[in-house]
RNA sequence: GGACCCGUGGUGUAGCCUGGUUUAACACGCCUCCCUGUCAAGGAGGAGAUCACCGGUUCAAAUCCGGUCGGGUCCG
């Protein structure tokens, strides 16, 4: 099956749309949320569980798989799908984001402050940058063993082709927030030059390749980047450089400026976004695909998704008040966790540091988000997207 | 009846022998906050102890000495 995308239904009151994405490993009905499986596994879950909770496609990571176990190892074991026993579509990130996220320095990362991405000026005292950006590519230091590596656009595509993903992403420079206009422009221009090199390196046309819009939080840059990426001969586009520390308003502005310049007939992926309100907003603006670590990462930290009145949509299940709660995490949830376990039990598992806790919470959170996007898709089909949005967000 | 061990925040311990560098440390627990293309079963911060009690030695005691109470082990 070759790659194709078709818009099936366009919402009349917004830019929301329903589409069908065909890939060599099956069909994805959009809009769709994809769980993140960085190291060839969605942490704590089996592919069977992923399938059961409704995941249509997952994301894997070039940076991590290149470092461990190595793309050649995975290729020799039959490619990523076979390696991890996931038969459905896979999108691979290019490694750009990770390479730059390491650039902020070890200490900040150790402190959990790593959302300012790719700041090359960063020689503040002992905070040595772990990566160096040049025209040819990025030289970085492995977080695993300190060895030095270089990613170029060509290298990233080569790795992704060996992994055998259905959707490859271009090697881009994800700008940090806040970035000056000058720097954001330089990074965007570099990303555009790298885009051509990615296309040239792209030899296996069974796999598709998506370009990535950059440009920081600047209107002129976003518009320019969106137009540039839109005109590339690739089957899809991504909007990147969001959810890197900017405000929600900034993110919305970025979508506002970028999307009108993107082609109607190509799928649009919004990188790294997964907050409920953000997903509603993005789908309303015409985004088709999402990926985000939040359901799994927050799940492992004991935060479970709920539909609440405060529009926070999550609660910390490890809090004492949940120790004797007999009810499931969320009334009406059809996930495996909610069908079989009480809040009190999952609470206990977290307190006891039992491994099942991570799995049950991840299953719930992923099912919650996948199902919500399913409902959004259904509502678009029926012309009721606005009603669903109002029901959830109140606006 | 005899010998020995122990008594430090909610829990479990470290420190005690070689008194001061202890504003008494650590783990877990508790409370706040954070997490959006995962270096993330992670991170930041906070509350909480008159070191069982009484007395003594000393410039100075959780730390040394005596006694009391409480818990435990072993021997009869």
- Cβ neighbours, 10 Å, residue A44: 18
Round to whole Å and give the CA distance between A256 and A218: 11
Instruction: Burial-class residue A352 by CB neighbours within 10 Å (0-12, 13-18, 19+).
Output: exposed
Length A40 CA → B29 C1' (Å) = 35
Calculate mean pLDDT across residues A386-394.
Answer: 95
Confidence of residue A308 (pLDDT cuts 50, 70, 90): confident
Catalytic residue list contains A288: no
Structure tokens at A247: 């405000």
**ipTM exceeds 0.85, yes or no:** yes
pLDDT for the residue A143: 84
Length A252 CA → B33 C1' (Å) = 26
Calculate mean pLDDT across residues A98-122.
Answer: 44
Report whether pLDDT(A121) > 60: no
Structure tokens at A284: 């309303």
Which bases in strand B are touched by protein, i.e. have an atom under 7 Å from a CB? Answer: 29-44
Round to whole Å and give the CA distance between A377 and A356: 31
> Which of the residue ranges A17-26, A98-107, A238-247, A291-300 would you say has the lowest mean pLDDT?
A98-107
Catalytic residue (one of A93, A275, A278, A281): A93
User: Which residues neighbour A121 within 8 Å (Cβ) at sequence distance 6 or greater?
Assistant: none
pLDDT for the residue A129: 59
Length A240 CA → B13 C1' (Å) = 50
Report whether pLDDT(A369) > 60: yes
Calculate mean pLDDT across residues A115-144.
Answer: 62
Which residues from the 219-238 window of protein chain A have CB within 7 angstroms of nucleic acid chain B? Answer: 238
SS3 of chain A: helix, strand, coil, percent, to 5: 40, 20, 40
Round to whole Å and give the CA distance between A48 and A45: 8
The alpha carbon dihedral of A164, A169, A170, A173 has a sign of negative
* pLDDT per position as a tens digit, A158-170: 999 999 999 999 9
Nearest nucleotide (C1') to alpha carbon of A117:
B37
Beta carbons of A269 and A288 less than 8 angstroms apart: yes
* pLDDT per position as a tens digit, A211-254: 999 999 999 999 999 999 999 999 999 999 999 989 999 999 99
* pLDDT per position as a tens digit, A186-211: 999 999 999 999 999 999 999 999 99
- Percent pLDDT > 90 in chain A is 81
Helix pair angle (A248-258, A276-284), 10° resolution:
20
Whether pTM > 0.80 for this model: the answer is yes
> Which of the residue ranges A48-57, A171-180, A259-268, A368-377 would you say has the lowest mean pLDDT?
A171-180
Report chain A's terminal Cα–Cα distance, integer Å: 41
User: Which residues neighbour A376 within 8 Å (Cβ) at sequence distance 6 or greater?
Assistant: A16, A31, A279, A280, A283, A385, A388
pLDDT for the residue A277: 95
Catalytic residue list contains A291: yes
Give yes or no for CB of A61 within 7 Å of strand B.
yes
Nearest nucleotide (C1') to alpha carbon of A102:
B39
Round to whole Å and give the CA distance between A229 and A192: 8
């Amino acid at each position: 099956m070759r790659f194709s995308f078709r818009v099936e239904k366009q919402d009349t009151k917004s830019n929301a749309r329903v589409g069908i994405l065909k890939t060599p490993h099956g069909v994805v009905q959009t809009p769709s949320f994809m769980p993140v499986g960085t190291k060839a596994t969605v942490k704590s879950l089996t592919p069977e569980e992923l399938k059961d909770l409704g995941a249509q496609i997952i994301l894997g990571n070039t940076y991590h798989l290149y470092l461990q176990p190595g793309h050649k190892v995975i290729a020799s074991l039959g490619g990523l799908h076979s390696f991890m026993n996931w038969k459905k579509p896979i999108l691979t990130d290019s490694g750009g984001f990770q390479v730059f996220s390491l650039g902020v320095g070890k200490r900040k990362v150790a402190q959990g402050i790593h959302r300012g991405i790719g700041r090359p000026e960063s020689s503040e005292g002992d905070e040595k940058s772990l990566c160096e950006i040049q025209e040819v590519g990025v030289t970085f230091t492995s977080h695993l063993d300190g060895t030095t590596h270089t990613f170029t656009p060509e290298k990233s595509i080569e790795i992704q082709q060996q992994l055998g993903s259905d959707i490859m992403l271009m090697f881009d420079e994800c700008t940090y927030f806040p970035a000056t206009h000058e720097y954001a422009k330089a990074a965007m221009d570099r990303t555009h030059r790298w885009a051509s090199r990615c296309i040239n390196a792209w030899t296996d046309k069974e796999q598709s390749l998506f370009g990535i819009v950059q440009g920081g939080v600047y209107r002129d840059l976003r518009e320019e980047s969106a137009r540039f990426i839109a005109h590339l001969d690739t089957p899809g586009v991504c909007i990147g450089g969001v959810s890197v520390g900017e405000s929600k308003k900034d993110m919305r502005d970025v979508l506002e400026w970028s999307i009108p310049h993107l082609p109607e007939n190509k799928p649009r992926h919004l990188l790294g976004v997964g907050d409920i309100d953000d997903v509603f907003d993005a789908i309303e603006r015409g985004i088709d695909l999402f990926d985000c670590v939040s359901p799994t990462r927050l799940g492992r930290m004991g935060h479970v998704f709920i539909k609440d009145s405060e529009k926070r949509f999550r609660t910390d299940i490890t809090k004492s008040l949940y120790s004797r709660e007999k009810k499931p995490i969320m009334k009406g949830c059809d996930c495996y966790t909610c069908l079989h376990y009480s809040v009190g039990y999952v609470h206990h598992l977290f307190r006891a540091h039992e491994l099942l806790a991570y799995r049950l919470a991840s299953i719930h959170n992923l099912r919650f988000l996948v199902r919500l996007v399913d409902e959004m898709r259904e509502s678009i089909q029926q012309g009721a997207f606005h009603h669903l949005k109002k029901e959830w967000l109140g606006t």
